[in-house]
Structure 1
């Protein structure tokens, strides 16, 4: 089973794609580890993971069909 990961902002420059078809993993910690192994540039930048349109605080389990996104730092006013 796989999942789609949406990639935004300057993170797209690192992975060279706006979305990734990724094998399903158990949680965000494992996902982050695998992403950084495949795309070493991610290890040197700050980014957040969103699951089902909610920012993840710490680690979170991933379930089949979850909508995952990689988000660069952002600010608003």
Structure 2
């Protein structure tokens, strides 16, 4: 059986996708995740956002562990 990952979206990203949560088949890395998202939601390519894996910000292309919770975080304003 395929593992699933849960992706929570916030702010303008949730507005663009039209939902606050996606459940996808397991993807191996943040780079593959971005490729998938950009294919499904082309406008995301022009948006800045961070990816968090299990509440830790990903730096560059990182492996996504099985069953991970992913968050797509828009830029935060303020200091």
Q: Deviations over 1:2-42 (max 9, x none)?
A: 11100001101110000001111110000001011001110
Q: What secondary structure does 1:75 align onto?
A: coil
After superposing on structure 2, the runs of 4+ consecutive aligned residues of structure 1 that deviate more than 3 Å are none
* Residue number among 32, 36, 41 corresponding to 2:43 in the alignment: 41
Q: Deviations over 1:45-68 (max 9, x none)?
A: 111100011111111101112110
TM-score by length of 2: 0.92
Please, which runs of 5 or more residues in structure 1 have no aligned partner? none
- Distance (Å, rounded) in 2 between the aligned partners of 1:33 and 1:48: 14
TM-score by length of 1: 0.94
Please, which runs of 5 or more residues in structure 2 have no aligned partner? none
